[in-house]
């Protein structure tokens, strides 16, 4: 069967059913089908946008810092340029011992064992940002290959493929 012949037979079939006339006489089934289709579509979109759990609240007034002397986190006002004064005082070299800590979690309300420090951040004079892992002895420029690797590793998804979210002080 050729294409033109198929189109002709299809047209004859649809005319024999006279669907347009039937729909015009009784549009309620088509309207019901449209409402059901839209409702299913809306339900799918809503379920994809969230799991029903409330979104984590991100306070804007404080963030985590890390005391290089004690290896402990502490909260300080957001927006400070590290290094800042740490609770333990200056480092052995006399400089401020508080550096910015980028803390992440995979759960909504983590306890101490459910969050981790992805990397630390400080700044050299001249505005050069440096980062390192907690276990690393040396700082790396944030825009270097080593710096990009550190950031990539901090955002590795969990076993379910979910990326971590940043965790802020409460």
pLDDT tens column, 45-99: 666 665 544 445 455 699 999 999 999 999 999 999 999 999 999 999 999 999 9
pLDDT greater at residue 113 or residue 41: 113
Q: Could you give the 3-state DSSP secondary structure of residue 107?
A: coil
Structure confidence at residue 38 as a pLDDT band (50, 70, 90): low
Looking at residue 2, its pLDDT comes to: 84
Q: pLDDT: is 145 or 57 the higher one?
A: 145
b/e 13-45 (16+ beta carbons within 10 angstroms → b): eeeeeeeeeeeeeeeeeeeeeeeeeeeeeeeee
Does the predicted TM-score (pTM) go above 0.75? no
Report the C-alpha gap between 49 and 76 in whole angstroms: 33
What's the CA gap between 135 and 4, in Å, rounded?
73
């Amino acid at each position: 069967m050729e294409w033109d012949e198929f189109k002709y037979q299809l047209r004859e079939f649809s005319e024999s059913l006279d669907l347009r006339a039937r729909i015009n006489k009784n549009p309620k089934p088509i309207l019901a089908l449209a409402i059901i289709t839209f409702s299913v579509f809306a339900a799918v979109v809503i379920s994809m946008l969230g799991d029903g759990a409330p979104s984590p609240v991100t306070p804007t007034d404080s963030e985590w810092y890390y005391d290089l002397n004690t290896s402990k986190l502490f909260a300080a006002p957001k927006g400070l340029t590290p290094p800042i004064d740490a609770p333990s005082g200056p480092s052995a070299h006399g400089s401020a011992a508080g550096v910015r800590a980028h803390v992440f979690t995979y759960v909504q309300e983590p306890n101490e064992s459910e969050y981790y420090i992805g990397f630390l951040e400080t700044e050299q004079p001249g505005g050069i940002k440096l980062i390192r892992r907690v276990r690393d002895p040396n700082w790396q420029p944030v825009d270097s290959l080593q710096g990009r690797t550190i950031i990539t590793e901090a955002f590795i998804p969990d076993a379910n493929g979910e990326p971590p979210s940043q965790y802020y002080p409460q």
